Amino acid sequence: MAVPAAFLGVILIWSTTPLAIQWSSEGGGFLFGVAARMWLGALFCLAFMGLFSVPLRRDRAAVHTYLAAGLGIFGALFCVYWSAQYIPTGLISVLYGLTPMVTGLLSALWLQERAFAPARSVGMLLGFGGLLVIFGQGLVDKHVAVPGMLGVLLSVVLHSISSVWVKRIGAGVPALAVTGGGLLVAAPLYLLTWLALDGHAPGHLTVRAGVAILYLSLMGSVVGFMLFYYLLKQVTASRTALITLVTPVIALWLGQSLNGEHIAPRIWVGTALILAGLIAHQWGDRLLERRRAPSASQEGKGIGAATLAQTE
């Protein structure tokens, strides 16, 4: 597979996922939509594992990994599906742009990774500033509910905790197996939640909702993960971060064009601040190091010339 094609595939899937999440709840409620997605996604994923001869390991470290991934899938997606009832779908993608920063902060606390370098700190401040601008709009805009934004932020935190937890375990389980094992953990939890809080089969599931559930099951839960993990193996992690710079803008445009969502100017300003923060967080320190390198080289040449003059 060509790397550009994989990039395009992930961008398209991640950009359309928030809109599909909202559409999948039509007629059946968000709990039915997410439960159906998880069970179908698990079946699709197991089929792919059989097709590519990827085993589902059952050792202790692997089971621990499936548990960490599955709890993250359950908690994070539950929050997103609930929040999609109250906020524009494009805003979900914008707020999820904070994921690299939240993951970096948790990695510093949990894995002792470097997260408070100057540019990264600036990036976090810009992201926080964008968040404040968006929340300010939510306080005055009837189209944006603050509880919905808080739900997405909780989803980001839960997703980041799950990612860092899986990394901390370090079981070396193939990405497709992690996805399959995680879905096998999450699917029963969603079924129990649906039975406890709803339990009624949808009386009238719209065609759009049915197509959205199938799309999320196959593309969002399986193909999207496969393409993303393929990219992680082929290119650097910093290049994959480009995806989170593109998807929020496309998702906002899709929500406005296809779903009639109102996007206030302040939302665009907040989005720009979050994306600027992501750029600073991902690449700021590298740019500073490149600027310092020529200066250090020139200083070294000057010292060498002065030393030679003294010896002469």
Contact 38, 263 (CB under 8 A): no
- pLDDT per residue, tens digit, the chain (312 aa), is 677 888 888 889 988 999 999 999 888 889 999 999 999 999 999 999 999 999 999 999 999 999 999 999 999 999 999 999 888 888 888 888 888 778 878 887 887 766 566 777 777 788 788 878 877 766 666 667 888 889 999 999 998 899 889 888 888 888 889 889 999 999 999 999 999 998 887 778 889 999 999 999 999 888 887 787 777 667 655 566 667 778 888 888 888 888 888 888 888 888 888 888 877 766 666 666 676 666 555 555 555 544 444 544
Query: What is the token pair recorded at 270?
Result: 């907040």
Q: Residue 230 to residues 105, 179, 233: CA-CA distances in angstroms?
A: 25, 13, 5
pLDDT given at position 203? 75
Contact 103, 158 (CB under 8 A): no
The gap from C-alpha 23 to its chain's centroid, in whole angstroms, comes to 20
Contact 72, 189 (CB under 8 A): no
Q: How many helices (H) and strands (E) does the chain have?
A: 13, 0
| Number of Cα atoms under 13 Å in the Cβ half of residue 112 | 0
Pure H helices in 235-264: 237-240, 242-258
Cα angle value 12/48/219 (rounded, 5°): 20
Whole-number Å distance between alpha carbons of 103 and 107? 6
pLDDT given at position 309? 47
pLDDT given at position 233? 66
pLDDT given at position 157? 93
Pure H helices in 84-144: 89-96, 99-110, 118-140
> Following CA atoms 99, 101, 104, 110 in sequence, which dihedral angle do they give, to the nearest 10 degrees?
-70
Q: Residue 267 to residues 106, 152, 264: CA-CA distances in angstroms?
A: 27, 15, 5
Q: Residue 56 to residues 52, 60, 190, 222, 306: CA-CA distances in angstroms?
A: 12, 12, 21, 15, 66
In the chain, where the domains are located: 3-311
Question: What contacts 24+ positions apart, CB below 8 Å, involve 62-68?
Answer: 62/171, 62/173, 62/177, 62/181, 63/181, 64/169, 64/171, 65/166, 65/169, 65/171, 65/173, 65/178, 65/181, 66/173, 66/178, 66/181, 66/182, 66/184, 66/185, 67/185, 68/162, 68/165, 68/166, 68/169
